Structure 1
Amino acid sequence: MLSGGSGKNLWPLSNGTRSKQFLRLLTAPDGGKESMLQRIVRQVEEAGLNVPITVATSQTQRDIVVNQLGNKVEVVTEPERRNTFPAIVLAASYLFFEKVCDPEESIVVMPCDSYTELSYYDCIKRMVKAIEANEAELMLMGIRPFDFSTDFGYIKTENSGGDFFRAVCFVEKPDIETAKRLVSEGAYWNAGVFAFKLKYILNMMKKYMDAKSFLQVRASYQNFPDISFDYEVVEKALSSAIVPYNGFWKDLGTWSALCSELATSHSGNVIFDDRVKGTHVINELDVPLFCSGVNNMVVAASLDGILIAGKDTCDDVKNHVDDFSVRPMYEERRWGTYKVIDQVDFRDGHHVLTKQLNVKAGAHISYQLHHHREEIWTFVSGEGRLVLDGNMKFVRRGDVIRIEKGHLHAVMADKDLCIIEVQSGDLLTEEDIERFEWKWE
């Protein structure tokens, strides 16, 4: 599964570390909330695809993948953000070198944010069956278009007489007139789902390097072209075909698309009066949000900002996000979550940042030190064990710990911990962390 994204389309809920697939807005079978990523992994299991899942993602998103999926998946992390072709090569090399997969093994590549139904996975099974029968080197899923979208690539086909169609032409995100013509000619949307044998990608990797290990591939990652899998592989494939999928499928990558699939019109601390119609409101803040007399709008509030837009213009937000120079104010990590409470920048170059850390019971923050900041931890609730320069002590509500620059520290939560962290220094960034090994007993 490919997990990436810049987090612009669903701002202010999404950001560079919390892209759309991580937003817990969809209704789960138990009535709770789940993300697109959690939903698609659940569906894979429900469809009876009892196969190992590997998620290829960026370093900034690794923790949130682990936080949401735990040990259900393997995670392969890009050393730097690049396009889908190098990401797929990296994941394939991991399967070959680290997991010792047979080169003849069938591999499926798919996005982790498709909003679809279980018959989608029956289509994937047919794709794998065609690969195993050597019907083509590369199989793709084709979606029957339901409008003249310019947001997707198109695949023109010819009938093969079987359960699939030979791919004869690929058109990447056409203009509206070309899209209309392609739809009238029976072309399919490219769903971004591919099946092939592992050796297919390993042979392509040899074009760029003769790798002997996964670590070697990862160390040479920058040598692979920063190009999409569609451009580098799909459009150049000598033997490719599609399996059509005619069931429900939707890309929830815009506010208008997402709102159409939400179970309720509001989420969070929201109050409506009877003069609100066709408006969706999502409030992640602790303060109440009251709406009156607003129709056909999207209102979204998070620690990163507030969006107020008509449903006919709300999808334009992605074009303006770069105008906001705000760091992510909320992040999910493998150990829990944090949110920024306050930030003060002084004229002399000194900075103070206050966070609320929530560490899940049984999880721990890594053993680390900082070169540019000191920290004060105030334990608000819970119980745990703190390590400071190799010395361990138990901590609980009311304890206050001062951590100077260059001092090693870590904390393990025995019960859910809430910590108020005050950072102070000349440079306050997430990159100012040097990690070390610590074995918790």
Structure 2
Amino acid sequence: MKVIILAGGGGSRLFPLSRTLFPKQFLKLNGEESLLAQTIARFLSVVNPADMVVVTNQEYVHLVRTELIAAKAQDAHILLEPVARNTAPAVAFAARYCLEQLGCRADEILYVTPSDHIVHPVDKFAANVRQVIELAKQGKVVTLGIQPDHPETGYGYIQAGQPFGEGFAVQSFCEKPDQKTAEVYLAAGNYYWNSGMFAFTIQCLMGELAAYQPAVYALAESSLAEMTANFTEMPNISLDYAIAEKSAELVMLPITAQWNDIGSWDAIYDVLDKDADGNAVKGDCMPIECSNTLILGHSRLIAGIGLEDILIVETDDVIVVAKKGESQKVKDLVCELKAKGRVEADEHTTVYRPWGFYTVLGTGPGYKMKKIVVNPGEILSLQMHYHRSEHWIVIGGTAKVTIGDTEQMVHENESIFVPQTTKHRLENPGRLPLQIIEVQNGSYLGEDDIVRFNDRYGRA
């Protein structure tokens, strides 16, 4: 069996913690591990890291590599989608990769999973995976469902039909319902939340694509190189719409483990520990006479007085306040921010790069200040800027700096000036993180004012 972990999505429902450049799967919401690292860890009792394929994109590849190291799964494979085309093309791409690069046979089982859910305990989940394997061996498309305990409007539903092995034949897939319909589903007893997890053999997947998605199938039947070159021709369609809602071979296995897709701040509230008044609080927060309220602080003191059923999430550049039950509308907020061209929709003040990260400390007309941290042994691209100059002050470590044809070492408490339109490069040759303060001056300070001439990470 190969586990296909989908980690290319840029979800917006957990804004302001989740941003386009740092989406939900990389957040640490319920402990010291990211959701992606937790996903990897719960499959390690079933398969080896070399049997995992993480499907992502170039923008997130350095974040994925970091999480694989954290999960002690460096041998897992990373497959980069040429462009985002939703889950059905991503899974077909992974299947072709498994056939060509991993030497899989047509009867190899693929277990497809999102990378941003919470599932526990691991032993119960591993037992469910083994049940899935037995169903998939019979040529079935297996999906996993969760017995609902309340009328949730944020999930799709699966209607269970006649028993089939350890699970049920699927009678229908249902879109996210309104409150009244969700109450009907809960009362009926045979509707399950759709977990987004699927399993099937490669042969079964290809047969279903041929029957229901010939455009995806045609590309999936070509070579990996051809599929990569022509990936933009893929339709933008989810696995649910492409196959699950149409297949006559679909069976559903109820999960006995606890599951939460934490797709909203209401769901985050549900999984966090709470005080005697039902408040879930993290960070420097002071709730006074508050009840059933979520307060997540980051960079400042947050005091709440007399709040009830309120959600407050703060980062160093955004504060979101919402009534409980309304957090699904956070996605609408992000769409509005994108429409207005607001940078907050896409990135935090701290932005991760393959070489390390930077944090924007302040900005104004004609200037921007950053703290830049370069990991040991890493090097930025050889680059130049048309519209700005830069002044670097080393506050930790030692920098190896190239400016024009000159190369020199810059030590702690020393500084150097980078003129406008001059080729330059920053490198950390030491064993400690290099920390510098960068002051930019110019008429335009956007991140797209970078001309790269040479780059270790393939961005030139």
Match of 2:421 in 1: 405
Q: Give me the whole-angstrom Cα distance separating, in 2, the residues matched to 1:159 and 1:431.
A: 60
Classify the secondary structure of the residue corresponding to 1:113: coil
**1:429 aligned to which of 420, 443, 447:** 447
Q: TM-score, normalised by structure 2?
A: 0.81
Structure 1 residues 156 and 315: CA distance shift in structure 2, 3 A? closer
Distance 1:433 1:141 in 2: 47
CA distance in 1, matches of 2:175, 2:37: 29
Distance, in Å, in 1 between the alignment partners of 2:220 and 2:262 is 39
- Alignment correspondent of 2:130: 125
The alignment partner of 1:322 has SS state of: helix
Alignment of 1:21-420 (within 5 A): 21-27=25-31, 33-45=32-44, 47-51=45-49, 52-70=51-69, 71=74, 73-117=76-120, 118=122, 119-132=124-137, 135-183=138-186, 184=188, 186-202=190-206, 204=209, 207-209=217-219, 212-263=222-273, 265-268=280-283, 270-272=284-286, 274-285=288-299, 287-324=300-337, 325-327=342-344, 328=347, 329-345=349-365, 351-362=366-377, 364-373=378-387, 374-386=389-401, 393-403=408-418, 404-405=420-421, 407-412=423-428, 414-420=431-437
Question: SS at the partner of 1:86?
Answer: helix
User: Separation in 2 of the partners of 1:257 and 1:337?
Assistant: 30
SS at match of 1:103: coil
Give SS of 2:110's match: strand
SS in 1 for 2:42: helix
Provide the C-alpha distance between the structure 2 equivalents of 1:280 and 1:57, rounded to a whole number of angstroms: 31
Q: Is the 8 A contact 2:368 2:445 kept in 1?
A: no
1:125 maps to amino acid:
R
Counterpart CA distance in 1 for 2:10 and 2:455 is 31
CA distance in 1, matches of 2:298, 2:59: 21
Gap regions ≥5 residues in structure 1: 28-32, 346-350
Write the deviation string for residues 195-254 of structure 1: whole angstroms up to 9, x where unpaired.
112244456376333765433322211101011111112123232212221331112111
- Report the AA paired with residue 47 of structure 2: L
Q: Deviations over 1:123-180 (max 9, x none)?
A: 1221122223xx2331111222222333222223333452232223222323444444
User: Match of 2:212?
Assistant: none
User: Partners in 2 of 1:199 and 1:392 — Cα distance?
Assistant: 57
Deviation at 1:282, TM superposition (A): 2.3
Q: Is contact 1:124–1:141 with CA below 8 Å preserved after alignment?
A: no
Letter in 1 for 2:234: F
Alignment CA distance shift 1:379-1:68 (3 Å)? farther
Q: What amino acid is the match of 1:239?
A: E
Shift of 1:182: 4.1
Aligned-pair identity (%): 26
Residues 110, 246 of structure 1: alpha-carbon distance in 2 compared, 3 angstrom cutoff: same
Q: Normalised by the size of structure 1, how large is the TM-score?
A: 0.84
What code does the residue aligned with 1:187 have?
Answer: Y
**Counterpart-to-counterpart distance in 2, 1:151 and 1:298:** 17
Unaligned runs of 5+ in 2: 210-214, 275-279
CA-atom RMSD in angstroms: 3.0
Aligned length: 423
Q: Partner letter of residue 191 of structure 2?
A: A
Aligned to 1:30: none
Q: Distance in 2 between matches of 1:289 and 1:253?
A: 24
